[in-house]
Amino acid sequence: MKESGVETAKVIKRKKTASLTSYTGLPVTPNITAVHRDWCHPFPTIARTEGVYLWDTEGKKYIDGSGGSSVVVGIGHGVKEVPKAMFDQAQDFSFYPAHMFTNNQFLELCDMIVSMAPGSLRNNSRIWLACTGTDATDDAVRLARQYWCEVKKPSKYIVISRWQGFHGNAISVAGFSGITARRKIFQPLFVDSPHIAPAYCYRCMFDAEYPKCGLACAKMLDTTINQYGAENVAAFIAEPVVGAALGAVPAPDGYFETIRDICDKHDVLLIADEVMTGWGRTGKLFGVNHWKADPDIIAMAKGMSSGYTPISAVMAKNGIWQPLIDNNSPFRAGHTLNANAVSCAGAKAAITYLLKNKLVDNANVNGTYFCERLRELLDSRIVGDVRGRGMMAGFEIVKDKKTKEPFAPALKASSLLQNITFEYGLIIYACAGCVDGLNGDMILMAPPLCITKSEIDEIMDILKKSIGRLEMELQALNG
């Protein structure tokens, strides 16, 4: 069938089949063209969103307890100011040749971010824009490497990170991420890097107790740098609060101060991965604000635009950029859509809304209330730990609370709970592998920062009911 000389696309009728079964036992209708994140989840179609709520095309209402897919939405869903700012910019232009022009949205966004930077980076840094959190962490490492080459120390190339840390999905960053499930099959494709123990007090790798431990997990960085040779180590990268790999585990007091001292001692750059923790999520504008230790480089994304548009950034002290400037050496990174004017306009609007509505303060006050309510889950036989900062919190599911023994990975306890709460109308984010990369189940909670106490109570009602049901299902599965 042709129309105006152009063949019209054929409408493909999707054959309904129950050849797949979801975790919840519901039949799955496969889409024959689109690849989703899971082959066995029903994936209802989203229709609209507002505040902390979402509705599917069948009219079912859900409350967003995870901030989108893993700690993204800060200002809430359906904020009209953001798409309006993007639309207004698009009326002038959307895409442009970035290798030959700049744009005012880009310049103004960079000024805005630098004016709010933490500690010694405030009004003393420059911004490189990219598209995703993975781009940001990759570019942060690229910058660290290029810096050392520009200052004539090319032997410094090693990036040290932590086990049970996550820094993105690309092959390049998989090498310094420490989340086993996302590394394992791609291991042959990347150059590996050293990893130290995470700052994970509930399951301390040194069988010690804070603060008597003397922050052994932080001091391990000193040992590792010595073993590889400080002349070979370029940077250390860490999340202030570990997200997907540990389910909202914050470093203890004094941790990053110790890390900062070790980095200074060995002339190593400190990179803070604020992809999740930035823009108010932890109750402060940046996660590192909870410690008196300024990083040299910060990677940020997610809350920067609150998910309304893909955008990310690398912020580094002027002293990191200066050798590149002095040597007239452009930064060796680049993305076709970076510094996109429409996305920059959206990010500016999202940050403006965040500040105007005092959502960072709300994340601090209501985040404290949220964490207090989550601690009620410790009454359950299977919740072993509750942790978090601000509106980034999590809890751990265990088989034995006394020994902290996890459930067998094959049971997929965290995924089971995720599907139960989904059935009841609550979105949470299931994580696994916190014990040794393979064992351990966690839930990451990160509602939009605009959430009210009554909406937190609504989340808790569903969580408690869901955990009660999970207890029974796991008991049945265990015989």
Residues 165-204 pLDDT 10s: 999 988 888 888 888 777 878 888 877 789 999 999 999 9
Q: Which amino acid is at 471?
A: E
Q: Where in the chain is the domain with CATH 3.90.1150.10?
A: 359-477
List the beta strands (DSSP E) in 163-240: 195-196, 233-238
pLDDT (average), residues 315-344: 96
Scan for tokens 């680049």, then name that residue: 334
Q: Tens of pLDDT along 389-446?
A: 999 999 999 999 999 999 999 999 999 999 999 999 999 999 999 999 899 999 999 9
Long-range pairs for 27-31 at CB < 8 Å and ≥24 separation? none
Q: Which of 224, 310, 209 is nearest to 266 (CA)?
A: 224
> Integer distance in angstroms from the first to the last C-alpha of the chain?
60
Q: What span, in angstroms and rounded, lies between the C-alpha atoms of 199 and 238? A: 10
Q: Which of 363, 406, 379 is nearest to 463 (CA)?
A: 379
**Residue 446 CA, distance from chain mean position:** 10
- Give the percent of the chain with pLDDT over 90: 82
Q: Which two tokens stand for residue 467?
A: 């955990």
Element containing residue 51 per DSSP (H, E): none
Edge-to-edge order in the sheet of strand 312-317: 125-130, 312-317, 297-300, 269-274, 233-238, 158-162, 195-196
State pTM to two decimals. 0.93
**Residue 237 CA, distance from chain mean position:** 14
Sign of CA dihedral 344, 350, 351, 356: positive
Q: What span, in angstroms and rounded, lies between the C-alpha atoms of 271 and 312? A: 15
User: Does CATH number 3.40.50.920 belong to domain 82-356?
Assistant: no
Q: DSSP states of 374-395 as a string?
A: HGGGGGSTTEEEEEEETTEEEE
Cα three-residue angle 210-214-220, rounded to 5 degrees:
110
Q: What is the pLDDT of residue 172?
A: 81
Q: What span, in angstroms and rounded, lies between the C-alpha atoms of 415 and 372? A: 24
* Cβ neighbours, 10 Å, residue 478: 10
Q: What span, in angstroms and rounded, lies between the C-alpha atoms of 476 and 374? A: 25
User: Does CATH number 3.90.1150.10 belong to domain 359-477?
Assistant: yes
Q: DSSP letter at 187?
A: G
- Give the percent of the chain with pLDDT over 70: 93
Tell me if 130 sits within 8 A of 336, measured CB to CB.
Answer: no
Tell me if 164 sits within 8 A of 246, measured CB to CB.
Answer: yes
Q: What is the pLDDT of residue 381?
A: 96
Scan for tokens 């993007």, then name that residue: 86
Q: Tens of pLDDT along 259-279?
A: 999 999 999 999 999 999 999
Element containing residue 270 per DSSP (H, E): strand 269-274
Strand 233-238 relative to strand 269-274, pairing: parallel
Q: Which two tokens stand for residue 258?
A: 């110790």
Q: Tens of pLDDT along 458-479?
A: 999 999 999 999 999 999 887 5
Band (31; pLDDT cuts 50, 70, 90): low
Q: Where in the chain is the domain with CATH 3.40.640.10?
A: 82-356
129 three-class SS: strand
**Angle, helix 453-477 to helix 359-374, in steps of 10 degrees:** 40
